[in-house]
């Protein structure tokens, strides 16, 4: 990917999307990308109110969609006056995330932007069910936006793992580095590469000979991770080695701390498709990482990913 050509912005009916629009505009002005404003609508009260009158229900639904389309057209008109190529679309779909994914399959964007709402009185950005489903099912790089303004020199961090046993996972890291590089270049920002890993804690080692030399074991593992990371990045041009970071510890603790200390604006991470049981076991950890991060998250699927959502 050399740049973005089409950006899809998901606007929700009852949530603020100002930051999503602002960041889409910011990227479009620098890349020349077209913007598509999209809203997936559904009103349960409206549907139930005309449950036994199909024709009247259809008219009411079309009226509702026209109102939402007018709202999007007003936003688009303002952006078009700034010289941007902006289109609008609305759809009626009870399943919000599936509606957005279907739109992405039709439109073929390089990037989907979705703003996450604050889901608690404490100001936490806890992901709702449809946010989580969109993250899981969207095959297009998905920028999850918070109410966070990027800095004048945006900091973009690519989260990679050089220890992979299969080509598919290595391809995912290359995709992460690719889109993070594009984003940093468009933003005239700074690209960071971060690898977080955890070794076996000393308390879990029962061999007394290993425990005696635990410090040497830690140093050896750290060196192996460093060598693997450098091999991975050997083909990345113009990468400042001072922006390559190796973190030791649990990911859900190290990454938020890293993002805060370096004032990261966008964390680019892999979103791996998993089975049902894996999602049950890993979902809460991923949500905890997202909630702890102050920055936006750009989720990237592995190459060849096929969404379970039908067009």
Tens of pLDDT along the chain (311 residues) come to 788 999 999 998 877 889 999 999 999 999 999 999 999 988 776 666 665 567 777 788 888 899 999 999 999 999 999 999 999 999 998 889 999 999 999 999 999 999 987 655 455 555 677 888 898 899 999 999 987 789 889 999 999 988 765 566 678 888 999 999 999 999 889 999 999 887 655 454 555 555 556 667 677 777 887 887 888 887 777 777 789 999 888 888 899 999 999 999 999 998 875 554 344 434 444 566 888 888 999 999 888 889 999 88
Phi and psi angles of residue 78, each rounded to the nearest 5 degrees, phi first: -65, -40
Task: List the structure tokens of 53.
Answer: 């009158």
Measure the CA–CA gap between 280 and 80, rounded to whole angstroms: 44
* CB 285, CB 139: distance < 8 Å: no
Note the CATH number of domain 1-146.
3.40.50.12370
Distant-in-sequence, close-in-space partners of 74: CB < 8 Å, separation ≥ 6 = none
pLDDT for 282:
42
Radius of gyration of the chain (CA): 22
**Domain-wise residue ranges, the chain:** 1-146, 148-311
DSSP label of 116:
P
Long-range contacts of 183-188 (CB under 8 A, 24+ apart): 183/27, 183/154, 183/156, 183/266, 183/268, 183/298, 184/154, 184/156, 186/3, 186/4, 186/27, 186/30, 186/31, 187/26, 187/30, 187/150, 187/153, 187/154, 187/156, 188/153, 188/154
Q: Do domains 1-146 and 148-311 have the same CATH topology?
A: yes
The pTM (predicted TM-score) of the whole model is 0.87
Contact 160, 177 (CB under 8 A): yes
How many CB atoms lie under 10 A from the CB of residue 178? 17
Q: Is the Cβ–Cβ distance between 245 and 193 less than 8 Å? A: yes
What is the second-level CATH architecture of the domain 148-311? Answer: 3-Layer(aba) Sandwich (3.40)
Is residue 259 a contact partner of residue 289, using CB atoms and an 8 Å limit?
no
**pLDDT the model gives residue 205:** 53
Beta bridge partners of 184: none
Cα(20)–Cα(148) distance, rounded to whole angstroms? 10
Beta carbons of 34 and 86 less than 8 angstroms apart: yes
| Cα separation values, 269 from 145, 152, 179, 238, Å | 14, 22, 10, 21
Q: So what's the pLDDT on residue 276?
A: 44
């Amino acid at each position: 990917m050399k740049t973005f050509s089409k950006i899809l912005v998901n606007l929700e009916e009852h949530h603020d999307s100002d930051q999503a629009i602002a960041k889409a505009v910011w990227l479009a002005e620098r890349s020349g990308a077209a913007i598509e404003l999209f809203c997936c609508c559904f009103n349960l009260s409206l549907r139930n109110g005309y449950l036994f009158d199909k024709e009247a229900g259809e008219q009411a639904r079309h009226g509702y969609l026209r109102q939402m389309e007018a709202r999007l057209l007003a936003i688009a008109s303002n952006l078009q006056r700034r010289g941007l190529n902006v289109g609008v679309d609305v759809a009626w779909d009870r399943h919000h995330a599936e509606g957005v994914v279907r739109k992405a399959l039709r439109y073929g964007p390089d990037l989907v932007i979705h703003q996450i709402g604050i889901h608690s009185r404490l100001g936490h950005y806890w992901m709702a069910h449809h946010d989580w489903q969109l993250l899981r099912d969207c095959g297009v790089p998905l920028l999850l936006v918070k109410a966070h303004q990027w800095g004048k020199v945006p900091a973009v961090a690519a989260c990679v793992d050089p220890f992979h046993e299969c080509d598919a996972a290595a391809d995912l890291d290359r995709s992460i580095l690719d889109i993070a590089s594009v984003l940093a270049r468009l933003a005239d920002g700074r690209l960071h590469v971060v690898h977080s890993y955890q070794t076996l804690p000393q308390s879990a080692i029962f061999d007394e000979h290993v425990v005696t030399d635990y410090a040497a074991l830690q140093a050896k593992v750290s060196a192996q991770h460093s060598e693997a990371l450098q091999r991975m990045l050997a083909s990345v041009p113009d990468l400042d080695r001072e922006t390559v970071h190796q973190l030791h510890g649990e990911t859900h603790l190290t990454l938020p701390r890293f993002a805060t200390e370096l004032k990261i604006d966008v964390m680019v991470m892999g979103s791996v498709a998993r089975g049902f049981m894996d999602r049950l076991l890993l979902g809460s950890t991923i949500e905890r990482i997202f909630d702890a991060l102050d920055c936006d998250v750009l989720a990237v699927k592995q190459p060849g990913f096929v969404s379970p959502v039908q067009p």
